[in-house]
Amino acid sequence: SMTDGDFPSDGITSISASAVPSMQQRDDAPSMNFDYLKYSFQSLSRQQSHDNLASLSQNKPEEVERRFHMPNEEGLQHLKNTSPVVSKKFHKVLIANRGEIAMRIMRTAHELGLKTVAIYAYEDRLSMHRYKADESFQIAPEGKHTPVGAYLAQDDIIDIAVKRNCDAVHPGYGFLSENAEFARKVEAAGLKWVGPRPETIDALGDKVKARAVANECGVPVVPGTDGPIEKLEDARAFCAEHGFPVIIKAAMGGGGRGMRVVRAAEDLDNAFERARSEALAAFGDGTVFIERFLDRPKHIEVQLLGDGRGSVVHLYERDCSVQRRHQKVVEIAPAPKLPVEVRDAILQDAVKIARHVNYRNAGTAEFLVDSRGHYFIEINPRIQVEHTVTEEVTGLDLISLQLHIAAGWTLPELHVAQDRIQIRGFAIQCRVTTEDPAQGFQPDTGKIEVYRSPGGNGVRLDGGSGFTGSIITPYYDSLLVKLTCSGATFEKA
């Protein structure tokens, strides 16, 4: 980081990082001027940075604002006056999740000066996320819920948030993040929901309803059932009409759960029942639908951001085509070797759908791309596991933006405009998990005896349970840490 002494005391040197939403600090933290400009100076020597910044600040202040995305004087004063850190209207957030994503949210919340509340199941009492929060509470007494069921216990979670005087609930990804009923209960309890409106989750979190929204917008979709499939007979009828292969998908949720590819009629019955039961166990809803299965398409998704008041932007695309068992394992931003005209069409369609529903907060529109075109498949109305690669290439803190939007900021107030969002280089994310290759890469459990982390320029770690001495239980996802590497080119990343 850079200190006040690193720059001449003129021009814009009086502006501290606390004025910028993605880099705000605790009230009692020292000012770290220009820390948020670090990416702009990576290719310059220190002396060049001094000279260039001093020259710009004296002669072309509007160029400083344009190049560094800095607010003008009026906008800066507005940020200071309306910041949730300064106004004290938004001071504590409960994270209704666990592991890596809970710690990721806490990190930004602490930078913003917010206090955090963690929750945990009895079986998860040794998890690192509970110790990273300012406060942590067991969701319910031992035995009341299953290890996973505890993180789905809506009333117990909201009760903790209310009793601990929280202002907001951030659901992370998975668990209750796409549950409109939970979002409604959070808002009914007088808390801010850090995510889309409940009615938007209803319209887009359900993949069947999302297809209908896409059809209203004229966005192409993969041929599939018009609505959910309740009976096996309906599944057989669809396959008889459209042929194989097909894919059975859970209407709610994601992450590859509740999803089965069927290539022959004799496999349909078993796949249908397994998809329904898995969806019910993972998301509390066994509703499924069927689509034609596209062999070896590219899986392209678009990061969206809206303020619910008319402003919607995209933060470009990610390529998530490297998957295993329908679960993403490697994500790249921006998508390499994607034709410009295809990219532009996908970005436009994603924004079109988000504007159609007056989208609020962060979300991701997902598409499949083959030689014949692109097809919308769903919108995930939440933060994604792979949001890190977008942050690395745009320089924007998505969690910070989520919290600010939930606190009532608009995108114009945050100085987030489409023409200001630029891609710099490439970023690649992979997931380090506890799996046993000798057992078909099944999740492994036990104590981590040795753990060594990578490091260096362009290396980012988003950790959860990855550390020496960590006890890995069989109850949760096997993810230990997300490794994100970035560079000026794809090869360097």
Catalytically annotated residue among 104, 211, 382, 431: 382
Per-position b or e across 38-73, b if 16+ CB within 10 A of its CB: eebbeeeeeeebeeebbebbeeeeeebbeebbbbee
User: Which two tokens mark 363?
Assistant: 């979300």
φ/ψ (deg, to 5) at 15: -85, 125
CA 202 to chain centre: 19
User: Which two tokens mark 194?
Assistant: 């850090």
382 is catalytic: yes
- Nearest alpha carbon to residue 468 among 453, 483, 445, 449: 449
Q: How many of the other CB atoms lie within 10 Å of CB of 366?
A: 22
Give catalytic residue positions: 382
